[in-house]
């Protein structure tokens, strides 16, 4: 064997990092590894056939036809080849053998690792196994997690059609706004009294309800869905305790379920997600977890948490790379997320609890305001609505004690608080 051939053979035998996922967290992890000078092999195992893409536009700009699929990729397809990342699209990791340090890809195909990063994210919660609801699998009932899902829903967004959305969380409300923009008649059903009740509480939830009502969205609050049925005359009907609501199509938006199964089967500790420490290391040596799947210990908040947000997926992808590269970094940032619905844009930072005091700065009726959440006088979270370039400052205010009247008084310069 020639020297060059021997070198190539040994390069192929060398173990490096395998990332299972193909979402945002995975993409940022492999990117940060190469940017950080990691020279060993990197393999990215991705179930979906598309190059890793961003999901937030799937319920917003992509669904509204304002952004094409090609603009959703954080790194262009060519980058993976240029960076010598072995990107295996349309490939599902079927099991992990932690003793042999290899990932099984089905049949006899395996890939060995020195470090393994689990970034399998979440899937949409369905009826059946995930929730007690018949008919969730009928034609015309959609969920939204992937580009493929969003593409199918987009095809249904035809003016005058009736869409029933089951669930008033982020995805339900964002799709409601996108569907109204296309002239679709939208009814949102939720067991809660306002949208986003669990995520944000009643003050902001009421504001979002008013915004949607003003834009023609109808709500069924305090209403549980028992099932979905197909009716020869009406198309689909969504069954509630009081009546049947007809629909041309239905979006089931009742949350997401972490794809924990691989880790559970491999004997890795799993709680609400894969349990990892402040450097994203799991209970099994050389196995990390990142993004929506990771239940990670946050050093600033002093507890473990699983966060299903864009910013977290990016940052944890980079942090896992730092851990693999031997850098002394940890999960110390506060949760952050954003939404866009009709003419409302907002950013949230912090860690509110349901019973925190709510302090509003500005006029909610005007639509430009900041909400602070306080626990025993300390700011736990803040949200800027249609006010921009303040979120970094709000982040710096978390943990401070500022009296509620001082926060409320718009005569006080926010940047000086």
Name the site residues for ligand FAD (rule: CB under 6 A): 20-26, 45-48, 55-56, 58-59, 92-93, 119-122, 144-145, 171, 259, 262, 291-292, 308-311, 313, 337-339
Nearer residue to ligand FAD within complex by CB, 44 or 374: 44
List beta partners, residue 358: 373
User: For ligand FAD, which is the closer residue by CB, 168 or 237?
Assistant: 168
Of the two residues 153 and 189, which places its CB atom closer to ligand FAD in the complex? Answer: 153
Could you tell me the smallest distance in angstroms from the CB atom of residue 233 to ligand FAD?
Answer: 32
Rounded least distance, CB 150 to ligand FAD, Å? 7
Least separation in angstroms between residue 412's CB and ligand FAD is 29
CA dist., res. 334 & res. 379, Å (int): 13
Output 59 or 330, the one with its CB closest to ligand FAD.
59
Question: With respect to ligand FAD, which residue has the nearer C-beta, 55 or 207?
Answer: 55
Least distance from C-beta 197 to ligand FAD, angstroms? 18
Least distance (Å) between residue 237 CB and ligand FAD: 25
What's the min distance (Å) between Cβ of 55 and ligand FAD? 3
When the beta carbons of 46 and 334 are compared against ligand FAD, the nearer one is: 46
């Amino acid at each position: 064997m020639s020297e060059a051939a021997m070198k190539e053979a040994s390069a192929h035998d060398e173990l490096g990092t395998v990332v299972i996922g193909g979402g945002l967290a995975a993409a940022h992890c492999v990117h940060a590894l190469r940017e950080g000078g990691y020279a060993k092999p990197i393999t990215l195992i991705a179930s979906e056939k598309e190059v890793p893409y961003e999901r937030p536009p799937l319920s917003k700009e992509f669904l509204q036809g304002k952004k094409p699929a090609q603009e959703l990729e954080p790194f262009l397809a060519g980058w993976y080849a240029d960076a010598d990342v072995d990107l295996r699209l349309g490939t599902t990791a079927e099991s992990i053998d932690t003793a042999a340090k290899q990932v099984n890809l089905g049949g006899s195909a395996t890939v060995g690792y020195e470090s393994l990063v689990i970034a399998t994210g979440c899937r949409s919660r369905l009826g059946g196994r995930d929730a007690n609801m018949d008919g969730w699998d009928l034609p015309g009932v959609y969920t939204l997690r992937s580009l493929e899902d969003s593409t199918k829903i987009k095809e249904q967004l035809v003016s005058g059609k009736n869409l029933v959305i089951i669930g008033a969380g982020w995805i339900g409300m964002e799709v409601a706004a996108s569907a109204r923009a296309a002239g679709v008649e939208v009814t949102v059903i939720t067991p809660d009294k306002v949208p986003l009740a669990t995520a944000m509480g009643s003050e902001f939830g009421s504001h979002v309800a008013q915004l949607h009502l003003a834009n023609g969205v109808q709500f069924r609050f305090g209403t549980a869905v028992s099932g979905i049925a197909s009716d020869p005359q009406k198309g689909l009907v969504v069954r509630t305790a009081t009546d049947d609501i007809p629909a041309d199509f239905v979006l089931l938006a009742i949350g997401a379920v972490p794809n924990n199964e691989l880790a559970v089967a491999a004997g890795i500790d799993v709680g609400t997600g894969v349990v990892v420490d402040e450097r994203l290391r799991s209970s099994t040596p050389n196995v990390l977890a990142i993004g929506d799947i990771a239940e990670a210990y946050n050093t600033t908040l002093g507890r473990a948490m699983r966060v299903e947000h864009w910013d977290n997926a990016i940052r944890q992808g980079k942090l896992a790379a730092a851990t693999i590269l031997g850098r002394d970094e940890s999960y110390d940032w506060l949760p952050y997320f954003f939404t866009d619905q009709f003419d409302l844009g907002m950013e949230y930072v912090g860690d509110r609890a349901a019973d925190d005091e709510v302090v509003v700065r500005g006029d909610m009726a005007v639509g430009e305001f900041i909400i602070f959440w306080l626990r025993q006088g300390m700011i736990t979270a803040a949200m800027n609505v249609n006010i921009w370039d303040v979120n970094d400052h709000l982040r710096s205010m978390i943990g401070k004690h500022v009296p509620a009247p001082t926060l409320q008084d718009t005569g006080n310069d926010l940047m000086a608080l």
